[in-house]
Structure 1
Amino acid sequence: MNLLPKSTRLIVREYDSTPTVKQIRGVDHVFLFEPKLKSGRLLPKMPLQKQIDHMQAQAVSKSGVLSHSGDARQPTISYSHYAKGASVFDMLTLARKHYAALKNLNPTRALVLCNDKSEEVRKAFAEAVAAAGHAWICPLTTFKKRRARNRKLRYLDAYKVSDLDIARLKAEADGNNLARVLAALPPNKLTAASYTALCQQLARSNNWECEIFDQSRLQKAGAGAFLAVARGNPHANAAIVRLRHTGQQDRPQLALVGKGVCFDTGGVNLKNAIGMQQMHEDMQGSSVALGTFLTLTALRPDDTLECWLALTENRLDGEAYTPTEIVTAANGTTIEVVHSDAEGRMALADTLHLASLNKPALIIDYATLTGACIYALTTRYSGTFTNRDDLNTALLAAGEDSGERMWPFPVSQDFDDILESDYADIKQCSLDGKGDHIAAARFLSRFVPAKTPWIHVDLSSGHHKGGLAHVSSDVTGVGVRFTCNLVLDKKIGDQLG
């Protein structure tokens, strides 16, 4: 069974004109959007105009998406209005709700039209419906005897818009779909070993370099922090995987780093039954890094990019690491272990160090790292941390403009007091857990050279019940669109000096 998703098959087409009656009758479904309380016809001679007028009247007192079922000669329709100044997140969310309103419908061809004077707004809604469509047709892998029927949507026609970046929408969707599909796989299907094999498969398909740092090689490199976590897995299959796409220069413009703990029991500080649910998703940082790498190598082929994945499992056996141990990381830093369930920062520490050796212009790491970040932000936002305070404005804006909302936190040096140890250079964490998302970022910063710009993303919105923005699955794959906006639109590389 191939565990990797196929590239999205949805074909998006744009037209700068209003659709004709013939074009409307040629689709199975119509997505319609209007500004709140706006009156007036969307289209001249439009089929189902009476039904649309009725839904417009209903929308004055009702919120959400209104639907009408057509007949053999007419398309079905979903209609909603939106408030003036709707954010990208609001638009993506509304687009997702339109697809949810399809229920048992399974259209092959659809049309999207926004009745707004602003071309920018019309374009934003077209992009939102396209992004939601790409996600909607990519189901997460199940292992049932009876498979759910495939979603047939193949063509999405966007009207009254121009200059849609269709290639980017597809590339971002492929990256997000990869991130979500991998994160949803059960832990007996996606082990550290099988994940490594999937990375090799992707490398062959995309002409990437692939280098495997297995446990023997990591032992020689002195990667004691990563190996401490790996000790609890009797299969000895943990590895750090480096993927590389070489563009026009040797030095990487960007290194992506991801936490890939394929299952997290908590180790000797064992999680309870509730806490252990969804711990197969504790590798979502790595799948987001991998999905982002897939997207950016497609969109920026001239850039040299690297992706470093810390693939391991935090299991419990006689060799599992324990509190009060002192371990030595690859950069020589000694660490006092405090809690075995703070394994993510241990695995990332050595991975960040190895990634920094090639002197990338920027490092971004992703991890489902701390419960503290969820308590601070809920699962609607993710947290960002950086050793360059001047990047925080761009991080916040990239989250807003991509619809994958982020909130910057301080990484001030005085937080180091939390991590002071009497026996080692640094403590892994503190037992009281106060501000642990910030303490974790300070811990990670010790393994990135001060001169290397670095961004840490704590994926507190990596799992949100009912989906988030344009994504309908609980596993959100958040981070791919955010990073693309940061790199392609905010041009973060130009801000590094």
Structure 2
Amino acid sequence: MEHRFIEAPGAALSGVKADALLVVLTTEHHHTGDKAVDALIDDAVKHGDLALKAGRSLFCRRPMGAGKPHLVLVVAAQDGAKAFKSAVAKGLASVKDLAVAHVAVVAADGLALQSAHARALVQAADEATYVYRQTKPSAPAAGKLRKVSLVGPKASASALGAALKQAQAQVAGVALARELGNLPGNHCTPSHLAVEARKLAREYKHISAQVLERPALEKLGMGSFLSVTNGSAQPPKFIILRYEGAAASQAPVVLVGKGITFDTGGISLKPGAGMDEMKFDMGGAASVLGTFRALAELKPRINVVGLVPTCENMPSGTATKPGDVVTSMSGQTIEILNTDAEGRLILCDALTYAERLKPAVVVDIATLTGACVIALGGIHSGLFSRDDELAQALLSAGQDSGDTAWRMPLDEEYGDALKSNFADIANVGGREAGSVTAACFLAKFTQAYRWAHLDIAGTAWKSGGTKGGTGRPVMLLSQFILDQAAAGKQALAPQAKPARKPTRAPKA
């Protein structure tokens, strides 16, 4: 999808060369400055064809004559970017099945367009035109829509043009993450994720990829990670992606993505209903790959490392059993009380590995707990961190990108639920505060650096009639990295003094 800015004062809207003109109105602002367009709006309102109420819309087939664009009028609830996105999406839905290749979007006078509106337009266009096809030959053919432009005055050209370009790169990352999530588990295996990582490295010169196989993981002492893959015939992979946009001396931002390509629960088997959605349990891994795809085009001056531990969680005669005790890469022993709490078991070894990278910050991303879905639904991702500055930077990136998170507690007292009589730590506590105790488990392995955890169990995919991956939180992560790059010397620095000595991390 191509996106660009069209310079045109309101008085010249009817002369914009496009197949359709989509005008976003509000209850307070419903004129554009173009006499022909405003006359049509006034006539529609006067005769009751369009009510100036949020969510109302009207499609007019070439009302300005042959050779002129179709006119789509949509009333937004507010003048903010979120409402603008919804309005654009509604308008695009009315024309995407027509012979419309180019839609020009304009806001009514008084609705001041900002960079956030440009990003919202790009996101709306991407979501409106996406159709999953890889394993569905019967999927409808792609529509003709190829270009969505934003129309505005010359004074806005530089800022909005740059915002469109940035958003287009970010949405390319969202698209990759969403497509990987939608692939079924027999297609998107750990090996497939490794192939996708290497593909990124081949296509973009600032990215490199390394994939560690089981012998290397055994040498590293990743006993916790390997315990999860014991029941599967699919070999585990540990993917290391590097984006080198700054001097090698600059401490990297490290992203750690949970890559369970299918989660049966293992011996602690999940209920059959809805288990098909466990193909989305690699949403964290997908978001890391998607973020690197976005970075390839954005080219920020910063170093980023992606760590993706990936495997299946399957039941078999060789699978890990409830009550088994394993030794993590950190040297801490873990009593596995529930094999369905496997994401934290692969993440903890990846988080220990992250120490050797001497990171500025580490952010892990995981479809970790159903408890987070209960707490926050599908609106916000859950954010956990003991670092106020890092937490605020992530929250701000979420607000700016429209890919929001909500900070959850991480009090040490919650960690008491993880005490074990047979190991240093148990992998689960009770039912209460399940998302918090899961974060407390991960915190045990992150004492040596600044760390945050994003639980995306509620936001990585949708269920029901709209079932499918969302590509979240690629927008949040890419915006966070852009913010850190822009901050330069004011960016988040590595932890001054480790809270403890780094845990054991032998060389591969």
TM-score between both structures, scaled by the size of structure 1: 0.89
* Alpha-carbon distance between aligned partners in 2 of 1:22 and 1:84, rounded to the nearest angstrom: 25
1:213 is displaced (CA, Å) by 1.3
In the alignment, what sits opposite 2:284? 285
Contact 2:174-2:287 within 8 A present in 1 as well = yes
* Alpha-carbon distance between aligned partners in 2 of 1:487 and 1:155, rounded to the nearest angstrom: 28
1:4-30 Cα offsets, whole Å, 9 max, x none, are xxxxx4232332533736633x31122
* Alpha-carbon distance between aligned partners in 2 of 1:203 and 1:244, rounded to the nearest angstrom: 9
* Alpha-carbon distance between aligned partners in 2 of 1:285 and 1:19, rounded to the nearest angstrom: 47
Contact 2:231-2:314 within 8 A present in 1 as well = yes
In the alignment, what sits opposite 1:66? 57
The residue identity in structure 2 corresponding to 1:477 is G
The 5 Å alignment of 1:46-195 reads: 46=36, 49-50=39-40, 53-55=43-45, 59-60=50-51, 62-71=53-62, 73-84=67-78, 86=80, 88-102=81-95, 104-117=97-110, 119-121=112-114, 123-160=115-152, 161-162=156-157, 163-164=159-160, 165=162, 166-195=164-193
* Alpha-carbon distance between aligned partners in 2 of 1:103 and 1:167, rounded to the nearest angstrom: 22
Matched, 1:32 2:28: no
1:49 is displaced (CA, Å) by 4.1
* Alpha-carbon distance between aligned partners in 2 of 1:52 and 1:266, rounded to the nearest angstrom: 59
In the alignment, what sits opposite 1:313? 312
Measured at CA, do residues 99 and 243 of structure 1 come closer, stay the same or move farther in structure 2, by a change above 3 Å?
same
* Alpha-carbon distance between aligned partners in 2 of 1:433 and 1:275, rounded to the nearest angstrom: 20
In the alignment, what sits opposite 1:14? 6
1:192-247 Cα offsets, whole Å, 9 max, x none, are 11221221122111132211111111011110111001111123x11110011223
* Alpha-carbon distance between aligned partners in 1 of 2:36 and 2:151, rounded to the nearest angstrom: 14
The residue identity in structure 2 corresponding to 1:457 is L
1:120 is displaced (CA, Å) by 3.9
Contact 1:395-1:408 within 8 A present in 2 as well = no
Choose from 42, 56, 80 the match for 2:32. Answer: 42
In the alignment, what sits opposite 2:340? 341
1:53 is displaced (CA, Å) by 3.7
Contact 1:210-1:242 within 8 A present in 2 as well = yes
Measured at CA, do residues 114 and 213 of structure 1 come closer, stay the same or move farther in structure 2, by a change above 3 Å?
same
* Alpha-carbon distance between aligned partners in 2 of 1:442 and 1:167, rounded to the nearest angstrom: 39
Measured at CA, do residues 185 and 461 of structure 1 come closer, stay the same or move farther in structure 2, by a change above 3 Å?
same
CA-based RMSD = 2.5
Contact 1:65-1:97 within 8 A present in 2 as well = no
* Alpha-carbon distance between aligned partners in 1 of 2:166 and 2:11, rounded to the nearest angstrom: 24
1:261-309 Cα offsets, whole Å, 9 max, x none, are 1111111111112141211111011011111122124323432211111
Contact 2:355-2:448 within 8 A present in 1 as well = no
* Alpha-carbon distance between aligned partners in 2 of 1:312 and 1:378, rounded to the nearest angstrom: 26
Three-state SS of the structure 1 residue aligned to 2:100 is: coil
The 5 Å alignment of 1:193-212 reads: 193-207=191-205, 208-212=207-211
TM-score between both structures, scaled by the size of structure 2: 0.87
The residue identity in structure 1 corresponding to 2:275 is M
The residue identity in structure 1 corresponding to 2:449 is T
147-156 or 187-196: which moved more? 147-156
* Alpha-carbon distance between aligned partners in 1 of 2:246 and 2:389, rounded to the nearest angstrom: 28
Measured at CA, do residues 151 and 221 of structure 1 come closer, stay the same or move farther in structure 2, by a change above 3 Å?
same
Q: Can you give the 5+ residue segments of structure 1 that lack an aligned partner in the other structure?
A: 1-8
1:140-161 Cα offsets, whole Å, 9 max, x none, are 2342333421132222221114
The residue identity in structure 2 corresponding to 1:265 is T
1:98 is displaced (CA, Å) by 2.6
Measured at CA, do residues 27 and 238 of structure 1 come closer, stay the same or move farther in structure 2, by a change above 3 Å?
same
Measured at CA, do residues 487 and 138 of structure 1 come closer, stay the same or move farther in structure 2, by a change above 3 Å?
same
In the alignment, what sits opposite 2:264? 265
Three-state SS of the structure 2 residue aligned to 1:357 is: helix
The 5 Å alignment of 1:226-241 reads: 226-235=225-234, 237-241=235-239
Three-state SS of the structure 2 residue aligned to 1:94 is: helix
Measured at CA, do residues 27 and 85 of structure 1 come closer, stay the same or move farther in structure 2, by a change above 3 Å?
closer
Matched, 1:486 2:480: yes
The residue identity in structure 1 corresponding to 2:98 is L
Contact 1:230-1:313 within 8 A present in 2 as well = yes
The residue identity in structure 2 corresponding to 1:284 is G
In the alignment, what sits opposite 2:440? 442
Measured at CA, do residues 379 and 299 of structure 1 come closer, stay the same or move farther in structure 2, by a change above 3 Å?
same
1:385 is displaced (CA, Å) by 0.8
Contact 1:65-1:101 within 8 A present in 2 as well = no
The 5 Å alignment of 1:370-449 reads: 370-430=369-429, 432-448=430-446
Contact 2:25-2:108 within 8 A present in 1 as well = yes
In the alignment, what sits opposite 2:499? none
Contact 1:342-1:429 within 8 A present in 2 as well = yes
In the alignment, what sits opposite 2:324? 325
Contact 2:55-2:74 within 8 A present in 1 as well = yes
* Alpha-carbon distance between aligned partners in 2 of 1:55 and 1:402, rounded to the nearest angstrom: 34
Three-state SS of the structure 2 residue aligned to 1:295 is: helix
Measured at CA, do residues 383 and 211 of structure 1 come closer, stay the same or move farther in structure 2, by a change above 3 Å?
same
Q: How many residues align?
A: 478
* Alpha-carbon distance between aligned partners in 1 of 2:123 and 2:11, rounded to the nearest angstrom: 21
Three-state SS of the structure 1 residue aligned to 2:460 is: coil
In the alignment, what sits opposite 2:492? 496
1:463-483 Cα offsets, whole Å, 9 max, x none, are 23589xxxx874211111112
Q: Can you give the 5+ residue segments of structure 2 that lack an aligned partner in the other structure?
A: 494-508
